[in-house]
A and B are shown apart, each in its own frame.
Chain A
Amino acid sequence: MFSKALFKQSMKANWIKWTCVTVATCVMLAIVIIALGSLAIDNIRDSLKTVFAQADQESVLKESTIDGYELYNSTGTFEDSLETLKVTNIYGRNALETIWSLVKSSYDAALNEFQVNNEGAELNEENLEIVKINARDSLLELLNNMLPNLGQTIPGFQLNFSEEELSQFVYIMLCAYENNKTASDVETMATEIENAYADYVYDMAYEMFLQQEDSTEDLAKASAEASKEMVKVAMGNYSKETYSEEYFKSLASVYVPETLIYEQVLRTFGVDDTSSDEERAEAEKYAVVSKILASTSISTYELWIEEYTKNAEKYPEVKDVKESAREQASASITDQLNDIDEEVAIALKELGDMDIYGLIIGNLFYRVAGILLPMVYVIMVANGLLAGQVDSGSMAYVLSTPTKRRTVTVTQMTYLMLSLLAMFLILTVVSVISIWIVGGNDFTINFAEILILNLGAFLTMFAFAGFCFMCSSIFNRTKYSLSIGGGISIFMLVCTILGLFGSDVVPLAMRIDQMNFFNYLSIISLFDATSILTGGISWLWKFGILALIGIVTFIVGVFCFEKKDLPL
Chain B
Amino acid sequence: MEEKEEVIVATDLTKDYKNNRGIFDLNFTVYKGETFGFVGTNGSGKTTTIRHIMGFIKPQKGDVKVLGMDSWKESCEIKKYVSYVPGEIAFPDLTTGIAFFKAQAELLKLKNMDYCNELIKRLQLDPSANLKKMSKGMKQKTAIVAALMAEKDILILDEPTTGLDPLMRETFLELIKEEKAKGKTILMSSQMFDELEAVCDRVALIFDGKIIDIADINALKNSDTKAYKIEFISKEDYLKFKKLKFKIIRDQEKYSQVTIQIEDKNINRLFKVLKNYELKFISEVKFNLEKHFKEILAEKSKGGNDVQ
Using a CB–CB cutoff of 8 Å, the interface residues on chain A facing chain B are 3-6, 8-9, 12-14, 384, 389, 392-394, 396-405, 565-568
Contacts and interface: CB of A to CB of B under 8 A. Distances in A.
A394 B57 contact: no
A568 B91 contact: no
B58 interface: yes
Interface of B: 51, 54, 56-58, 75-77, 79-80, 82-84, 86, 88-95, 99, 103-104, 106-109, 146-147, 150
B94 A403 contact: no
Contacts of A396: 54, 56, 84, 86
A393 B50 CA distance: 14
5 contacts: A9-B94, A402-B79, A405-B76, A566-B57, A568-B54
Contacts of B89: 393
B57 A565 contact: yes
User: What 7 pairs between A and B have smallest CB-CB spacing?
Assistant: A5-B106, A13-B93, A392-B90, A565-B57, A400-B84, A401-B107, A393-B90
Nearest to B55: A399
A536 to B, nearest CB: 44
Contacts of B88: 392-393
A304 to B, nearest CB: 81
Contacts of B94: 9, 12-13
A3 B109 CA distance: 11
A361 to B, nearest CB: 35
A401 B75 CA distance: 10
A566 B15 CA distance: 13
Overall SS of chain A's interface: helix
A389 B86 CA distance: 13
A397 B109 CA distance: 14
Contacts of A400: 54, 79, 82-84, 86, 147
Given A568-B51, A568-B54, A401 B90 contact: no
Nearest to B146: A397
B5 to A, nearest CB: 22
Contacts of A566: 51, 56-57
A567 B79 contact: no
Contacts of B83: 400
Nearest to A6: B107
B108 A394 contact: no
Instruction: Select the residue from B86, B99, B107 with max chain A CB neighbours within 10 A.
Output: B107
Contacts of B104: 397, 401
Given A8-B106, A12-B99, A565-B56, A404 B91 contact: no
Contacts of A6: 107
Contacts of B150: 401
A399 B94 CA distance: 17
Contacts of A404: 76
